[in-house]
Amino acid sequence: MMKNPADPLLLDAVASATCRALKQAEIVLPPDVLAALERAHAEERQPAARSELKNILENVALARKLQVPICQDTGVPVIYLTVPPDLPIAPELYGAVREGVRRATAIVPLRPNVVDPIARTNTGDNTGEGMPAVHITPGDRLTVTALPKGAGSENVSRIGMLLPSRPEDIKRFVVETMLLAGGKPCPPVVLGVGIGGTFDQAAALAKEALLLPIDRMDAYEEDLCSAVNSLGIGPMGLGGDTTALAVRVRKAGCHTASLPVAVNVQCWACRRATVPVEVER
């Protein structure tokens, strides 16, 4: 039997799961990211870079102990839902996610970051027109994934429509993105790369690539990652061995005459958390 998408208990559970996913993402770094930072610290040869990585590790431990956000840029809420086949996707579902964002803003607390793009007036609760960004995919059960996205790294992200006859230029575009970014996005970064699809799809894939675990790169991703690291930008742009903790790629089929490539830059605080929605009756 189909579930009622306007069921107040269900909607409250969605809001609550959204709030919990945001809270966890803001406060606790995922284990794969923490492990990558620890390895970067252990392997770093330059003293200034090592002290930056030590500050980062200290900060991550302190945030967890004090139950406060890792970074004051608590980002804008990017939310991914998996929705099971027996739940119709109704407007109420989006409303419940918004409610969860408002709750998280008040209780974590999150910095109110969302403004009107032209008037620049702040809504005060991290919601706005089309914000939170909510992406829905079919799944076995109802889950909420939060990816709070900070501006320092988002602002140096790029999209390019490359020559379809030159797929080898993808590497150059990825490395060039980091060269132009320098220390601005708080390296060591994670790069989410979207290749193919359409203009908009490439950007969405790049962001989704940031949800992938960073401890299992394939050979193509490893090659991109070491090309980025050879720039020597290092933690915070002060020079060092680790500029990127990982590069992850997601692909989609594209027009034979196109080669869209998007690079979504993510600071070292690669924040993400998934929480299942549980309805209590």
Partner 1 sequence: MNLTTPLGDEVLKLRAGDRVTLSGIIYTARDEAHLRMMEEGIPFDPAGAAVYHCGPVVKDGRIVVAGPTTSARMDALTGFLLDRGVRALIGKGGMGAEVVEQLRGRGVYLALTGGCAALAASRMQVRGVFFEDLGMAEAVWVIEADRLPLIVGIDAHGGDIFEDIRQKAKAQFREQFKNTPGYIP
- By CB under 8 A, name the binding residues for partner 1: 48, 51-52, 55-56, 58-59, 62-63, 66, 68-74, 109-113, 122, 151-152, 155, 168-169, 172, 175-176, 179-180, 182-184, 186, 227, 230-239, 267-269
The candidate with the shortest Cα–Cα distance to 182, out of 220, 142, 237, is 237
With respect to partner 1, which residue has the nearer C-beta, 32 or 176? 176
Q: CA-to-CA distance for 202 and 254, rounded, in angstroms?
A: 10
Q: CA-to-CA distance for 13 and 125, rounded, in angstroms?
A: 19
The three-state secondary structure class of 79 is: strand
With respect to partner 1, which residue has the nearer C-beta, 80 or 268? 268
Minimum distance of partner 1 from residue 43's CB (angstroms): 18
Minimum distance of partner 1 from residue 29's CB (angstroms): 10
Minimum distance of partner 1 from residue 260's CB (angstroms): 17
Using alpha carbons only, give the angle 253, 211, 4 rounded to the nearest 5 degrees.
Answer: 90
Minimum distance of partner 1 from residue 35's CB (angstroms): 17
With respect to partner 1, which residue has the nearer C-beta, 29 or 205? 29
Q: Name the token pair of 241.
A: 């061995």
- Count the neighbouring beta carbons within 10 Å of the beta carbon of residue 97: 26
Minimum distance of partner 1 from residue 204's CB (angstroms): 24
With respect to partner 1, which residue has the nearer C-beta, 29 or 212? 29
Q: CA-to-CA distance for 183 and 36, rounded, in angstroms?
A: 19
Provide the H-helix boundaries in 75-143.
91-107
Which secondary structure element, helix H or strand E, spans residue 64, and what is its range?
helix 47-66
With respect to partner 1, which residue has the nearer C-beta, 82 or 150? 150
